[in-house]
Every structure is written in C-alpha cells, then in structure tokens.
Amino acid sequence: SAVISQKPSRDICQRGTSLTIQCQVDSQVTMMFWYRQQPGQSLTLIATANQGSEATYESGFVIDKFPISRPNLTFSTLTVSNMSPEDSSIYLCSVIPNRWGHEQYFGPGTRLTVT
Amino acid sequence: AQKITQTQPGMFVQEKEAVTLDCTYDTSDPSYGLFWYKQPSSGEMIFLIYQGSYDQQNATEGRYSLNFQKARKSANLVISASQLGDSAMYFCAMREGGNDNNDMRFGAGTRLTVKP
C-alpha cells in the first residue's frame, strides 16, 4: 500500500483568493489523481497529474482554475484559483502505486471552505 | 460511458446482522475492475475490496464480500456481523480497461447506519 499525506488538512479561504494543496506519497507511484467531493456528493475526478508534463483534465475542469504540478513520482500539488463558495469541497489526492496492480488509494483529503 | 448506480441512499442494520449494499454498473469494456470504499465521517476513503471482471470467484476480505453477478452487471457488497464502527458512507466504483486507464468513476454512495 501507499501512505499519502495532504496539506493542509482543512482551510477557510476568502472569495477570490487561491489555495495550493500538497500531496506527498511515501513511495514512488505510477499514477496520481486529484478528486473533488462536494458536500453530500460523490467523488468526481478533476485530473490526472502527469510527471513532468501537463495534467490531463476531465470535462468541466480547466487548467486555469485548477493548475496541477507533479515534479516527481512522490509529490503533486493542486491549486484552486480565484475561489468562489462553489469551490467549497473536499479535495482528495489518489494514487495507483503499481501500474500492474489494481489498488488505488486515497489521501485523507483537504476540506476547503470558501467564504 | 461507464456508469455506476447505487440505489440505496441510506440503509439501516442491526448490530451483528449482515447487510447488503447494492451496486450496478454499465460498461461495454470486457476488462474492468470494481471497487468498494468506506468513507467515515472523518472524510478519508478506505479501500475495502476489489473484483476484477475476469475473476472467477467472488472477492472476500474479512467481513466484506462482493457478490459479483457479471451477467446482471451487479457488484453488491455484503458486510457480515455488522459493527457500530461500520456506520459510514460506502461508495462503489469502477475502472475500465487495463491499468493504463485511470478513469475511476464512483456511484452516489449509500449511508449505512448500524443500530445497537
């Protein structure tokens, strides 16, 4: 398995500001993803964080709003830009440790509230 | 497009009894994986069990078992001997294709409450 940590665990932010969320894994992993879980909802994939290249975004998510970095095989960041109250969600980092395995693990999440 | 359906928004079960959480899926890809996750109030997503589309036997992990009916495209989670700590949201998820496919999609979830 992989041990995943996220920073910050929670934050309250003002409208119009930006927040960068960090995801750190204790071992090199093949794939890293970012998900969003709006209040009372299921998880929605935002993007796949690609090492050394631009992230692959899902429909409805754009790089200007959710820039993502992945400088190496153990670390990624997600920035939520120009925040509005609708961005209030839990943001989860997820990894597939081994490209030949099926396991997919999630970090503890970052609870974001935008006022 | 793949689709995951969980028709039970909420379920109640008496402590020590078994409970089944329903999940149906829709895919045209012959290769896929089915997952169940538990999300307690703390928000973390805890991996419970996995079933591959080519697996011949139903997956089991301790008190969790997956009732996989491929022809009916259902992958119900069975929790035996429920405990108070099992109270949580449960999500069914599917990932199509080989391991290069990262597209894990989730159902709406079922909130399970275990009564003492």
Q: What is the pLDDT along chain A (115 residues), one digit of tens a residue?
A: 789 999 999 999 999 999 999 999 999 998 899 999 999 999 999 999 988 889 999 999 999 999 999 999 999 999 999 999 999 999 999 998 877 777 889 999 999 999 9
pLDDT at residue B102, rounded to an integer: 64
SS3 content of chain A, % helix, strand, coil (to 5): 5, 50, 50
Contact A109 B37 (CB under 8 A): no
For residue A42, the model assigns a pLDDT of: 93
Token pair, residue B18, equals 């078994």
Q: Is the confidence at residue B98, as pLDDT, over 70?
A: no
Instruction: Choose among A31, A92, A96: nearest Cβ to B45.
Output: A92
For residue A24, the model assigns a pLDDT of 98
Cβ–Cβ of B99/A105 closer than 8 Å? no
Mean pLDDT of all residues belonging to chain B: 92
Q: Report chain A residues whose CB lies below 8 A from the CB of B99.
A: 30, 96, 99-102
* Residue among A42, A51, A98, A105 with most chain B CBs within 10 A, to mutate: A42
> Which chain A residues contact residue B47 at CB under 8 A?
103-106
Write out the H or E segment, with its range, that includes residue A54. Answer: none
B80-113 as b/e: b if 16+ CB within 10 A: eebeeebbbbbbbbbbbeebeebebbbbbbbebe
Q: pLDDT value at position A3?
A: 92
Closest chain A CA to residue B107: A42
Q: What integer pLDDT is reported at residue A97 of this predicted model?
A: 86
Please state, in angstroms and rounded to a whole number, the distance separating the CA atoms of residues B113 and B116.
Answer: 10
> Which chain B residue's Cα is nearest to A46?
B103
pLDDT over 90 (residue B2): no
B87 vs B105, residue with greater confidence: B87
Name which of B23, B32, B34, B45 to mutate to probe chain A: the one with the most chain A Cβ atoms within 10 A of its Cβ: B45
Euclidean distance between CA atoms B46 and B86, whole angstroms? 12
Given a cut of 60, is residue B100 above it in pLDDT?
A: no
Residues 6 or more apart whose CB falls under 8 angstroms from that of A45 comprise A33, A34, A35, A58, B102, B103, B104, B105
Confidence (pLDDT) at A81:
98
C-alpha gyration radius of chain B: 14
Task: Convert the pLDDT of each residue in B38-80 to its tens digit.
Answer: 999 988 899 999 999 999 999 999 999 999 999 999 999 999 9
By Cβ distance, the residue of B35, B43, B95 closest to A90 is: B43
> Chain B residues with CB inside 8 Å of A61's CB?
none
